[in-house]
Structure 1
Amino acid sequence: MLVQFLTAVGVLAVLTMVPGPDMAVVTRRAVASGWQDGLRTVGGITAGLLVWGVLAVAGLATVLAASATAYTVVRLAGAAYLVFLGVQALRQSRRDRSRAPAAALAPPRGNPWRTGLVSNVFNPKIAVFYTGLLPTLAPAGLSPHRGMALLVLVHAVLTAVWLGAYVLLLAKARSFFEKPAVRRAMDRATGTVLIGFGLKVASARP
């Protein structure tokens, strides 16, 4: 059981560290608003994982994963939100050209915790992951519900630690990222990445 659990933790750790929409959203917030808002965004993302975890343990995520219509609705909503965030970042980079340096440092609008939560709740891939892969990783010595709940908590902790450490790393280079030219370049880069992830989510299939 211990070996199986450690194997599951290793798989979850690798999947957590793979760059994705969460990292792009966190990068945008941490660079533009500072480490506090970056960590709040991480908190929202972690809460989104727990929401999906509760749904998966309750069996509701299985219904979503099995329903083409429900999956499509959530997928398109999530894709639209990522594209919205990306367009917002690109528009910010254009506005910064005509602003004074102090005005160019204005943080993005919206609650950072809510931004993280929404970007994760509207990611149907998590439903597929939690109902497809996670049950196969659950320790055999526990009941299916307990095993799933344990791995969801582990995934949430790994995500919070990994993205939290990433935010603090960005904070150490904040003076560099605060330069208007760098900020514009980062806004363009993260905006493009977010739109790219949004289009990828929109075209994804269960």
Structure 2
Amino acid sequence: MSDQRKDRRRSDAESTVYEESERLSIDRRFSTDFRKVLMSGSLWKERNGWKVALGSSYRYRLRFFGLIGPGDGAGARLCLWKKESSFRSNSVAEREFPLGGCSLSSAQKHTGNPYSFGIFHPERPQLFLLCPDEAQFLSWTHALESVLINPERLSIRHFEVLALVGRGAFGHVFQVRKKDTGVIYALKVLDKVSVKKRQQVENTKS
């Protein structure tokens, strides 16, 4: 083999190693920049206004989502890219959904899919997402709960359910006792999907 051919092969090999090194360097930089990414993956997003404008055949579209934890003065948010490659290349998200003041609920009644969930806010349109399988559904809901639920906030685990007091158009009312004080309260449990569909959010705040 001529020296010229050997030099060319050595140059090609060095170029390949350099490109691989550059790729790894980009990945490390990406990992550092996005160290607050708690969860990412492809989900089916329900289109707004699909019933009127598009029909059921175009109800959902596949998008790549990243759950970004709070930090640098910003709260937790769910970011959307059209393609995973845009997320991997550190492109700016096409849409961001701030999660402050939001709540999470199963959306099975709305979508008919057991691996779907809804993100709700009193003043913004709801967001319905479908996961490909149960494992992804559990991973996403657990990750979202970790940023939506304040550990210092009261939850159902702080109460003992005593009796069902009544049923209404939007849910149920239970009589409960706070475990640490013994004080009796009425606890209203709402069906969020039903409330949003009927546009009755304001009527449930009493």
- Relative to the length of structure 2, the TM-score reads 0.25
Bigger Cα Rg: 2
Q: Which has more helix, going by share of residues?
A: 1
Higher relative contact order (CA 8 A, sep 6+): 1
- Relative to the length of structure 1, the TM-score reads 0.25
